[in-house]
Amino acid sequence: MEKINLVTMDEIIEFQEVIAEEIVELQYLRHPELREKCGKLGHLHCIQDVKYHFSFLKAAVETEDKELFLSYIRWVKVLLNSYNINSIEVSDNLRCIIDVFKEKYGMKISPLIIKYLEEAIELIPKMNLIVDKFINKNEPYSEVADKYLDLLLKSDRSGAARLIFNLVESGVDIRSIYLNIFQKTMYEIGRLWQMNKISVAQEHYCSAVTQLLMSKIYTGLFNDIKKDHVFVGACVSGELHEMGIRMVCDFLELEGWDTYYLGANTPLLGIVRTITEKNAKILGLSATMTYHVDAIKSVIKLIRNNPRCKDVKIIVGGYPFNISKNLWRIVGADGYSSNAEEACSLAENLIEESSKEDVIS
């Protein structure tokens, strides 16, 4: 019997413009009222949304972890609901994806692709439309975090800066400011955008102000006691969410490490070059968008294949790794952390393990 070469998400994404258009047109055919409801601009958004579905579905299928796709659909349900697109329409869209895939590829479509789509359709009615606030009144500095958020949303950069630097001058641990105020506030900003309570411009403003304050705090981070440890932190090419890995670098600076923060959208070869030039012991890679997991895997593979990087330990972090607890192993990393504090402890542990290995060898 001849073996069937299954169609993968890579092949689908290669022709995604045409396929996404077919899917949207099929949904219009089944629900003609949607064409008028969406309008010309909405039509373009619908096509873009389908392409996003493809990207997240690809990441889930390639790692064989459906939760990467299901968590995305939960997020999408809330987001689209804020734009008056209900859960039935979201489910119908996924059903149209299945039907177009089956019509175009028949038995050649990977069963896992269909399985994950069908599971999402089944679970959509049960997915919650309420997203809890990230600033919890029972947690440390919650009142300050609420005040900081309010100042950001009012575009009061000076007020936000005074609030934070008053804390710094009063002796509040910088780690607490980062984790309990900056991180919680940025999560809350993301929630407000997801629920269409703030604009993209407001979200970007809040992030920019917070990064500015972090850069000002950074000038006072240097520890008199230096360790002979070097850390390189980067976001892979295409990834623009850089605040998490910036926090990791700053935490390690407080512990006496030399850190090299490469920031967002770092080219693969640039990461390798920095590791070798600075003789880094630990590399931290961050991805917020699930569809950048493959890029992290590629970076790790390149590093593992480079003789000059053979002793480098790799830590990964970011949203997809919080969702899929085994994902760090799948991409070939040495460990995973959910926040900067955990990353700092993990980096120290990996250095200690490496030292023991050197003694044994």
pLDDT band at residue 353 under the 50/70/90 scheme: confident
Total residues belonging to the chain: 361
pLDDT over 60 at 122, yes or no: yes
Kindly list the structural domains of the chain, giving each domain's residue range(s) and its CATH number in brackets, ordered by start. 9-126 (1.10.490.20), 142-218 (1.10.1240.10), 230-360 (3.40.50.280)
d(CA 352, CA 346): 10
Token pair belonging to 236 = 């892979």
DSSP H helical ranges for the chain: 9-14, 16-30, 33-63, 67-81, 87-105, 111-123, 142-153, 157-169, 174-176, 184-194, 200-218, 243-254, 268-278, 293-304, 319-323, 327-330, 340-360
Average pLDDT over residues 270-290: 94
Task: Give residue 263's pLDDT.
Answer: 87
- Cα dihedral across residues 177, 179, 184, 189: positive or negative: positive
How many beta carbons lie within 10 A of that of residue 297, not counting itself? 20
d(CA 103, CA 301): 36
In this predicted model, what pLDDT tens digit does every residue of 226-256 receive, in sequence order?
Answer: 788 999 999 988 877 899 999 999 999 999 9
pLDDT band at residue 2 under the 50/70/90 scheme: very low
Average pLDDT over residues 44-51: 98
d(CA 39, CA 19): 20
In this predicted model, what pLDDT tens digit does every residue of 175-212 receive, in sequence order?
Answer: 999 999 999 999 999 999 999 999 999 999 999 999 99
The angle subtended at Cα 214 by Cα 209 and Cα 215, nearest 5°, is 100
d(CA 214, CA 179): 12
What are the φ/ψ torsions at residue 39 (nearest 5 degrees)?
70, -175
Average pLDDT over residues 36-52: 96
- Cα dihedral across residues 112, 118, 122, 123: positive or negative: positive
Task: Give residue 345's pLDDT.
Answer: 97
- CA-wise closest residue to 111 among 4, 6, 13, 14: 6
d(CA 93, CA 88): 9
In this predicted model, what pLDDT tens digit does every residue of 133-183 receive, in sequence order?
Answer: 999 999 999 999 999 999 999 999 999 999 999 999 999 999 999 999 999
pLDDT over 90 at 282, yes or no: yes
- Who contacts 176 (Cβ-Cβ below 8 Å, separation ≥6)? 140, 141
Helix (H, G, I), strand (E, B) or coil at 77: helix
Token pair belonging to 247 = 């926090």
The pLDDT mean for the chain works out to 93
pTM equals 0.92
Task: Give residue 17's pLDDT.
Answer: 97
